[in-house]
Amino acid sequence: MVKVNGNYLKLKAGYLFPEIARRVKAFSEVNPKVELIRLGIGDVTEPLPEACREAMKAAVDEMGTLDGFRGYGPEQGYLWLREAIAKNDFQARGCEVSPDEVFVSDGSKCDSSNILDVLGEGNRVAVTDPVYPVYVDTNVMAGRTGEALQSGRYEGLSYLPLSSANSFEAEIPDQKVDLIYLCFPNNPTGAVSTREKLKEWVDYALKNNALILFDAAYEAFIQDSQLPHSIYEIDGSRDCAIEFRSFSKNAGFTGVRCAFTVIPKTVKGKTSSGQEISIWDLWNRRQSTKFNGVSYIVQRGAEAAYSPSGQAQIKGLVSFYMENASIIRRELAHAGLTLFGGEHAPYVWIKTPDGMGSWDFFDHLLEKANVVGTPGSGFGAAGEGYFRLSAFNSRFNVEKAMERIVALS
């Protein structure tokens, strides 16, 4: 028989969302009339911006003409989109990013996983705890960890614990790590980072020849103009950081699929013989071989996100979700809960009351308020005792969910 990849067998059974789905299904089977409100999975709910829809419709029609038809596009993305990204997302904020350092893709989830393809074995990998589970599980799948421990952590990974004591911002490691995953604004805690703190990370990375993988999927939700949106706002980052961005959460592209990864040409790794090599070259080679690009239609839709009307519509979407987040914050505080995040991110991170376990609080809200959230422990051992609510829902559902939770207190 064919051999399977044994690394997959190290994965802890019951990835978070399937377990949530299982409990919700079990509850609904016994209570078929109960209307649940889902503030669990981080998926957007509002319709696509009109500017993006119109651009995609026009692109469909163009593809129906002899002159406008396009087959395979560049694996890295069309230059006009890469230019719009470099100009609007980076140069406009004073960051030095050129269009050819932008790689357009069909998602940040895959990019942040696929990047391991061009990174070698034996790197010391640091992740925060709690963390977006993709960073951990993809390292497990790629054989970059040991076995799962009783705690749910994996041997061989360096965990940087987050808690209210450090404002959910990881301490700079005291030993040497080679690869660091950072996500700001953070999923799941909703925390943001400051320029000063990111500078400490960049300084650490430069000093230790480490690489930072910076996930900025939620940058559009930052409300304070003083906070950095990109790692490239930090001096020195072009030598030590890769940034992942996505149209999923700002433009509602979770079902359309478009994202991009920035790899400055100055980011270097080393070969087993110690020779310096450009990560950009390796990634470009990988994408050209394993990827055939994002559809022309979708890239036109993404480009329209940068038009004046696209920008205004995205601003409207972000404000809508952030208003939801502030309703959640206000009402939960009213219900006597201690909470974090939700100010620059669509996630509110709640301390479970009375020392309740994360899954107990999940069951409590499911059964008593008929609200589905996400147990903090699903994001890592240090998430135990916390719970995530998402602001991605209709105003009606958010208000109703909050009424139900407040009524419990």
Ligand X SMILES: *Cc1c(COP(=O)(O)O)cnc(C)c1O
Interaction of residue 197 with ligand X, rule CB under 6 A: no
Q: Cβ of residue 247: shortest distance to ligand X, in angstroms?
A: 7
Q: Is 380 left (phi over 0), alpha (psi -120 to 50) or beta?
A: left
Nearer CB in complex with ligand X: 220/401:
220
Interaction of residue 217 with ligand X, rule CB under 6 A: yes
For residue 240, what are its two tokens? Answer: 């030590």
Binding mask 305-344 for ligand X (x = CB under 6 A): ----------------------------------------
Question: Among residue numbers 250 through 289, which ones bind ligand X (CB under 6 A)?
Answer: 254, 259
Interaction of residue 114 with ligand X, rule CB under 6 A: no
Q: Which of 153, 249, 344, 388 binds ligand X (CB under 6 A)?
A: 249
Residues in contact with 159: Cβ distance below 8 Å, sequence separation at least 6, in sequence order? 126, 127, 128, 129, 153, 380, 381, 382
Nearer CB in complex with ligand X: 170/369:
170
Nearer CB in complex with ligand X: 110/406:
110
Nearer CB in complex with ligand X: 257/329:
257
Q: Whose CB is nearest to ligand X? A: 107
Q: Which of 16, 76, 108, 214 binds ligand X (CB under 6 A)?
A: 108
Buried b / exposed e across 292-324, counting CB within 10 Å, b at 16+?
A: ebbbbbbbbbbbbbbbeebbebbeebbebbbeb
The closest of 46, 344, 104 to 247, measured between CA atoms, is: 104
Q: Cβ of residue 221: shortest distance to ligand X, in angstroms?
A: 11
Interaction of residue 248 with ligand X, rule CB under 6 A: yes
Q: Which of 90, 103, 132, 283 binds ligand X (CB under 6 A)?
A: 132
Interaction of residue 75 with ligand X, rule CB under 6 A: no
Q: Cβ of residue 230: shortest distance to ligand X, in angstroms?
A: 15
Interaction of residue 211 with ligand X, rule CB under 6 A: no
Q: Cβ of residue 248: shortest distance to ligand X, in angstroms?
A: 3
Nearer CB in complex with ligand X: 244/369:
244
Q: How many residues form the binding site for ligand X (CB under 6 A)?
A: 14
Interaction of residue 183 with ligand X, rule CB under 6 A: yes
Q: Which of 16, 20, 40, 42 binds ligand X (CB under 6 A)?
A: 42
> Which chain residues interact with ligand X by CB under 6 A?
42, 107-109, 132, 183, 187, 215, 217, 246, 248-249, 254, 259
